[in-house]
Amino acid sequence: MRPPRLALLMLLTTACGAPCKPAQGSTVVAAPAPLATAAAATTAPELRAEASGHASSSGSGDGSGDGSGDGSGACGHYADPIRRGELPAVLDEASGLTSSRWSDDRIWAHNDSGDSARLFALDRSGKLLATVVLEGAKSKDWEDIARGPCASGEAARSCLYVADMGDNKEKRDEVRFYRFAEPEKLSAEMTVTAFETMELRYPVGPLNAEAMWVDEQARVVILSKEENRTRIFVAPFAAGGPVTATLVGERKLEGGNLFMAELVTAADYDASRRRVAFRTYRNAYEWRLPAGAGAEALGALTPEALPLALEPQGEAIAYLPGGLVTTSETAGSPLFYYDCRP
């Protein structure tokens, strides 16, 4: 959800009185990224538009492929953002994206607070493929979505996890996570009644968070949304609860400015390459985990800066086969793709 200083920042970065769509061929001026370790990430990415030509590979977020844009498994860095579509009208406050196990051309998305308990399947151009309602679920403040195993170490099935964890006023004693099997076949309108619910508490008391992913052990990993830092929490998914998350690390973020602090708004995990992408309103970063390391190691790792399109209220990032995708929490927002490069 929109932080207090975002409205002022939007006035300073747009000239149309509302979030402006970048023109084709225009240059997006990226914010400084002090945590960068790759020189390419410090330059302003060139924004391009394409009608087609999606990157393809066998990679996926649950480790079922190599995730490379050229099939070689290499993804040394990411190309500048390319606009390849836009969100449908029903996604007027998009707050989460994740990939699909069943199709390289499918993206799962959902709205922020104010919508009902539903999510949407899109193709890579943003065309609406299906609306999926979680019958009986609540949607106080859905903030992120992830795909992962349905149980620890399980590779045969894929589950979607939805995080109802937004808490701007930090008054929720418990937040909520939903888990259900990802539908393989889609129809325009679908209802899911078989889902699990986990109630979760933080060991530090009520806390706002908008970014999460699920690891190979079916553990929910959460990044808090705090000014110029993020705390890392882990909780094995267990239906019922309340489950108390474990605080496993903290990372300072130094990319803020006078008008806006760094606030983590979304994250995703690529198990096949052992990488975590996370973003703020101005910057995007990636942790690269050593072999055998889990979320407990993240606080000690320095993330690399990633290219990021200038988005008015960016609250979504996801790994897809061949790279990354981001979008913003405004109606008709572009879908920006960042292709893998060796």
- Using alpha carbons only, what angle is made at residue 72 by residues 68 and 78, rounded to the nearest 5 degrees? 40
Which helix (H) or strand (E) segment is 11 a member of? helix 6-13
pTM, to two decimals: 0.82
Where does the pLDDT of residue 153 fall: very low under 50, low under 70, confident under 90, or very high at 90 and above?
A: confident
Which among 332, 310, 316, 295 is positioned nearest to 10, based on CA atoms?
Answer: 310
8 three-class SS: helix
Q: What is the pLDDT of residues 302-340, one digit of tens each?
A: 999 999 999 999 999 999 999 999 999 988 999 999 999
What is the longest distance spanned by two Cα atoms in the chain? 51
Supply the mean pLDDT for the chain: 83
Where does the pLDDT of residue 231 fall: very low under 50, low under 70, confident under 90, or very high at 90 and above?
A: very high
pLDDT of 24 higher than 50: no
Q: What is the pLDDT of residues 39-85, one digit of tens each?
A: 333 233 334 444 333 332 233 445 433 333 333 357 999 999 999 99
- Tokens found for residue 129: 């493929």
Cβ neighbours around 185 below 10 Å, total: 7
- Average of pLDDT values for 174-183? 98
Which among 243, 196, 217 is positioned nearest to 296, based on CA atoms?
Answer: 217
Which among 141, 195, 144, 139 is positioned nearest to 171, based on CA atoms?
Answer: 141
The beta-strand segments (E) located in 22-141 are 48-49, 77-78, 82-86, 94-99, 107-111, 118-122, 128-134
Structural domains of the chain sorted by starting position, each given as residue range(s) with its CATH number in brackets:
27-341 (2.120.10)
pLDDT at 7: 43
Q: What is the pLDDT of residues 154-172, one digit of tens each?
A: 878 899 999 999 999 999 9
Contact 132, 163 (CB under 8 A): no
Q: Exposed, middle or buried, 5 (CB in 10 Å: 0-12/13-18/19+)?
A: middle
